[in-house]
Chains A and B, each alone.
Chain A
């Protein structure tokens, strides 16, 4: 049981640290909680039987780093859109092509009769 908890705590804390550096940092909270739960469980079970292994303390360290990183990113990083030049150029190109195409298109005049667009 002690071994299982330690292994699960290690896996969860590593997963938390990986997720926290990725753009999905908010999701790191789930493995971080799991790592804390398994870490505490492993810590008490080890304490009962004798010495506490350094690896359990290390999982706590990793989890705390992951949680700090996630919190920092959630508070200070702002979602921004960049590199839109290409899509803007495509928009203009498509509009020019569309106007040319629409000129040659048979649009039923009766449908558009008396139509005024409010601006």
Chain B
């Protein structure tokens, strides 16, 4: 008998309810509502964390449900950030340039404005020409399209090549890692057209809304991130439930058997890989305006491995686990590295957490893999079992 989607997945209702409550509470406590208990910078941290939760969920779908350990999803996240960052940077520079040229005796020609913008943006890498990939940078709509298209097409092309030739398991992981490394190395070049090592900056300023205070901008992005996370959660919960979800999970558990049952495994894999890449790109497009800066270092392979770490700590194969893992590890991480954790004095040596946090994280990660393969999400199973 067919039950409704929500009745099958009570966790979806719980997750949305908690997320909505959290969003409302944070908004009320923010500076915008006048209470001001939570600072603007912390709102940004929370908003960024929600975006990381979303990309962690995509990672969970592709790894925890479909069994593809992709070490490239943070690259898709970064591509989304670059795509929106190009518009933010171009539009803002254009406004500044037009404003500064307006004071002159005669109006400027289009070529003069374009040259001045090019100088502003690319002067740092010793160029003033607009590279080809900036063709659409003046259009918000087209760049938003890029946020979806570029990660989607890249994932489609890469996935088609990889799944078609039956590259699986750790080989696929290494291959995706190679893809990520290639992308990062490409972006590190000064003549990549994306300002090389400098990356794109000043993304926290929204063009045309200079009078709007950052407190308001941050809360808008926070709410947008929460909505995206909620929508993404429902979407992926729907995908992984039902018949398609069963096929996907079947691929994870025994790929050969699913082939023999007559399913085109590579099509399912390609679908999951591409869709998750697109959502990762959207998450990145929401994340980087809150972070304010994006550079190629963010895309380096290690970031994608950390993504896998979050999902593993949170608990694979359950969407809320990935979100919890991402939120928990990234918040605890910033607490430790930001100097929030008290140093421990052992008498002969003082443990400073800014130095020792990564050691702790590394070893606790080994411990989680060895002793709690279900991660934090596994705790919910224990609770459920006690209730029943």
Same complex origin of A and B: no
Query: B interface vs A, CB < 8 Å?
Result: none
